Amino acid sequence: MGLGGCIILIAVGAILTFATDWDMQGVNLDLVGIIFMIVGLIGVATFSSIAKRRRVVVPPPTTQIVDENGQQRGGYQGY
């Protein structure tokens, strides 16, 4: 379940909790809506923590650069 699915769960839960007044025997739709919203929030938190781990900072290369005159310059020069 991606970020979109989590947002849909939150939206459906909010609709069931706050925008409907249906009465079903044996089912409390307010509670079902609250459960959907909680599951959606847990999903968003999990997705964002996994997405933070995927962002890897790559250090700049440390190779030697030799210009036209044969002089060596060290490291990353920004171009």
Provide the whole-model pTM: 0.64
Mean pLDDT for the chain? 82
Domain boundaries along the sequence of the chain = 1-79
Whether residue 72 is predicted with pLDDT greater than 70 in this model: the reply is no
Whether residue 67 is predicted with pLDDT greater than 80 in this model: the reply is no
List Cβ neighbours of 15 (8 Å cut-off, separation of 6 or more): 33
Structure tokens at 59: 């250090």
